[in-house]
Structure 1
Amino acid sequence: MGSGVVALLTLSLLLLIATHQAHSAIGVNWGTLSYHKMRPSTVVDLLKANKITKVKLFDSNPDALRALMGTGIQVMISIPNDLLSTFNPDLFVQQNLSRFMGKGGADIRYVAVGNEPFLTSYGGVYQNYVVPAMVNLQQSLVKANLASYVKLVVPCNADAYESNVPSQGTFRPDLMQIMTELASFLNSNGSPFVVNIYPFLSLYQNSDFPQDFAFFEGSSHPVLDGPNVYYNAFDGNFDTLVSALAKIGFGQMPIVIGEIGWPTDGAVGANLTAARVFNQGLINHLLSNKGTPLRPGSPPMDVYLFGLLDEGAKSTLPGNFERHWGIFSFDGQAKYRLNLGNKGGLKNAENVQYLPSRWCVAHPEKDMAQVADEHLRLACSQADCTTLNDGGSCSQLGEKDNISYVFNSYYQLQMQNEKSCDFDGLGMVTFLDPSVGDCRFLVGVTDKDLSSSSAEIMARWDIYHIWIGLVGVWALTRCYILY
């Protein structure tokens, strides 16, 4: 073979590698904290219809993994923080990896060891368990002959690092040693550094944060950092992490964005228009391969949008917006136009198993002055009423429609049990959709293919996540504000 041909082939190979490295893959987070769960098979069909090839789970639910088998969708499963000190690594690998993988199985690529375990609000409770858990789990992967395929990661909150400008980024002093150990482990085993970045929370928590800096359309308040200029919070936050990694000797480590997105309801600034502009701007920015000032032409290797579906059972302690991060509503219906880079808009879920088309509303012939506060408190303590709050899509309803919304939310949660629409004679069932404008009165879905044992497992996960939401002021430390 001539030297010219060899050179040409070498150049072609280098170009192919460079192209592969430069493109970010867009995945999604599939959270299940919902009172109205679609069947896992329906959700997986939704992923396939939208050509979503990567999905991140917050647990290792067997029903979800079974539904993902044979699809070719790459999966990240997770170990909750409170199990890091007690889980059996050999048993975990056997039950959650080995039995689902193999020919025609689930394509599990990552195991997330904890989720944001270094949050300031956790007060270091989980901090000392992370690296030992990873070491033990890595040994179990080796024994199961999975270590070359399944990689261990730790999704970190962006509050793990800090600086005034990106080039001065450094990990928090209390995390310096453990981050050095973590990065060394990740580097030795070919794993990326996973970080969650939320420009929305920067805007939500800080009234002085320039709104245009949270998006990708340029900013009148750019951050100047020597020769580099930052026009959006994402690039600045990302490069702050790059600098922090460089200071501990791992400046070239690949980075994955574990969570990023924009909510559509439940707070001022959380709406369909802003969510579409942010997410589409993010996707276009990533697919342009422009990268960031400190990593030009090298965007993050994977980005997982948060999230796939709305989760009406999440804690509202951080804010009512917590239940509205989905690019799809709880029943798999696209909320807005979004091109994920696959040359097409979002496609809705099909074959969703809805309850009958009926709603519970305030009785038109009854005096709603008789509605007691306990009626509303009971309903909203169990159902999701967050869209009624300031900034919500249903915040402009009149008094009677407001009451109807609360009644219906509770009625659907109770699987349309007739007695759940009584409210001491003040409620009635209607077959006419009472939705008003952008305010949607939902009809629940039913999940008939969950086994009883799996349903119990999912219920336990839900309780765990709701409890976690009540520990500390999570949202106040979930995002590092760069400005």
Structure 2
Amino acid sequence: MRLMKDPSAQSGVCYGRLGNGLPSPADVVSLCNRNNIRRMRIYEPDQLTLQALRGSNIEVMLGVPNTDLENVAVLFNAIRNIQTAISGAGLGNQIKVSTAIETGLTTDTSPPSNGRFKDDVLRFIEPIINFLVTNRVPLLVNLYPYFSVVDNPVIKLEYALFTSPEVVVNDIGRGYKNLFDAILDATYSALEKAGGSSLQIVVSESGWPSAGAGQLTSIDNARTYNNNLIQHVKGGSPKRPSGQIETYIFDLFDEDQKNPEVEKHFGLYSANMQPKYQISFN
């Protein structure tokens, strides 16, 4: 993960490439520049993409494909080895290494202050947390209120879309009007219980599909969620109210090679670079 230079640009995009007919990396960089997108997460070290980004003033979070990391049990050694190699190249102050986790690794998340890592996860996640604390590097978290609503239909849609007019969850003096904050703060609570109270979280993926799974996946819901998300992360959460929340919207383009069907429809743009709905990164 490359350290970010522009703290005012809190929202970026995830640039997945598992789609047919996607534009060239050079055209993608031009699209991002036209739309004030200053941060990008890419999932593999593709040379054409990296060349297009050179000199673009877009900050990059560079991923190592999951297939290159056999399982969570070896993840800590992989992170440590990559950071050692980067430091050996004299880039330790410019590039830091972290990893992305899913919120499904946590449990007891309601109310958020009860959040903790699942018992079978702790022995793998604690060394990673200690490494991140020592190196002062944030933890990356993929955070999707959409999937929480799918898994628990009792959750009101307005709570997930940042449109609730009132507090939905009260937790030791903190009021939660949206599910994003509740999931984020539950993860912070889990970190605190695992020795990571000093860590910051970067939301490395969040988004809403515009099709693929019934009425919940609509253009209107995707537009509402993503636009509200961009504005919301300019501030903090109830548990961490100071500062902003660095966040990457998934996905820049629809990726029609992915499965299941709903995974094909997270894009802000179609393959022809036309926006699927109006969205502003300002």
Taking structure 2 as the reference length, what is the TM-score of the superposition? 0.92
Structure 1 residue ranges without an equivalent (≥5)? 1-19, 86-125, 342-483
Query: Are residue 143 (structure 1) and residue 88 (structure 2) matched?
Result: yes
Whether the 8 Å contact between 1:158 and 1:197 is mirrored in structure 2 is yes
Whether the 8 Å contact between 1:24 and 1:299 is mirrored in structure 2 is no
In 1, the alpha carbon distance for the partners of 2:166 and 2:86 equals 50
Deviations 1:216-269 (A, max 9, x none): 122567122222221111010010011111112222311100000111111221
In 2, the alpha carbon distance for the partners of 1:299 and 1:329 equals 29
In 2, the alpha carbon distance for the partners of 1:24 and 1:243 equals 26
Residue in structure 2 matching 1:322, options 253, 259, 263: 263
The root-mean-square deviation of aligned C-alpha atoms, in Å, is 1.6
3-state SS in 2 of match to 1:152: coil
Whether the 8 Å contact between 2:210 and 2:217 is mirrored in structure 1 is yes
Query: Are residue 62 (structure 1) and residue 62 (structure 2) matched?
Result: no
**Counterparts of 1:202-221 in structure 2 under 5 Å?**
202-218=148-164
In 2, the alpha carbon distance for the partners of 1:210 and 1:58 equals 32
The letter of the residue matching 1:136 is N
In 2, the alpha carbon distance for the partners of 1:66 and 1:223 equals 46
Residue in structure 2 matching 1:306, options 238, 250, 261: 250
Residue in structure 2 matching 1:224, options 160, 170, 174: 170
The letter of the residue matching 1:62 is Q
2:15 corresponds in structure 1 to: 30
1:274 corresponds in structure 2 to: 221
Query: Are residue 166 (structure 1) and residue 112 (structure 2) matched?
Result: yes
Structure 2 residue ranges without an equivalent (≥5)? 1-5
In 1, the alpha carbon distance for the partners of 2:150 and 2:72 equals 27
Identity %: 31
1:334 corresponds in structure 2 to: 275
1:344 corresponds in structure 2 to: none
Deviations 1:180-237 (A, max 9, x none): 2111111222211100111111122332222111111225671222222211110100
Whether the 8 Å contact between 1:210 and 1:221 is mirrored in structure 2 is no
Shift of 1:330: 1.7
1:357 corresponds in structure 2 to: none
1:133 corresponds in structure 2 to: 78
In 2, the alpha carbon distance for the partners of 1:311 and 1:247 equals 37
Q: Given the superposition, is the C-alpha separation of residues 34 and 195 from structure 1 closer, same or farther in structure 2, using an over 3 Å criterion?
A: same
3-state SS in 2 of match to 1:33: coil
3-state SS in 1 of match to 2:27: helix
Runs of 4+ in 1 over 4 A off after TM superposition: none
Higher relative contact order (CA 8 A, sep 6+): 2
Whether the 8 Å contact between 1:24 and 1:286 is mirrored in structure 2 is no
Shift of 1:51: 1.7
Q: Given the superposition, is the C-alpha separation of residues 203 and 141 from structure 1 closer, same or farther in structure 2, using an over 3 Å criterion?
A: same
In 1, the alpha carbon distance for the partners of 2:243 and 2:189 equals 15
Whether the 8 Å contact between 2:167 and 2:176 is mirrored in structure 1 is no
3-state SS in 2 of match to 1:340: coil
The letter of the residue matching 2:105 is A
Shift of 1:82: 2.2
3-state SS in 2 of match to 1:292: coil
The letter of the residue matching 2:15 is W
Residue in structure 2 matching 1:285, options 209, 229, 232: 232
Shift of 1:25: 1.1
Deviations 1:415-462 (A, max 9, x none): xxxxxxxxxxxxxxxxxxxxxxxxxxxxxxxxxxxxxxxxxxxxxxxx
In 1, the alpha carbon distance for the partners of 2:242 and 2:87 equals 34
1:47 corresponds in structure 2 to: 32
In 2, the alpha carbon distance for the partners of 1:321 and 1:299 equals 30
Shift of 1:152: 0.5
2:3 corresponds in structure 1 to: none
The letter of the residue matching 2:139 is F
2:126 corresponds in structure 1 to: 180
Q: Given the superposition, is the C-alpha separation of residues 62 and 84 from structure 1 closer, same or farther in structure 2, using an over 3 Å criterion?
A: same
Residue in structure 2 matching 1:253, options 199, 217, 220: 199
In 1, the alpha carbon distance for the partners of 2:223 and 2:111 equals 28
The letter of the residue matching 1:299 is Q
The letter of the residue matching 2:35 is N
Count the aligned residue pairs. Answer: 275
Larger Rg: 1
**Counterparts of 1:233-244 in structure 2 under 5 Å?**
233-244=179-190
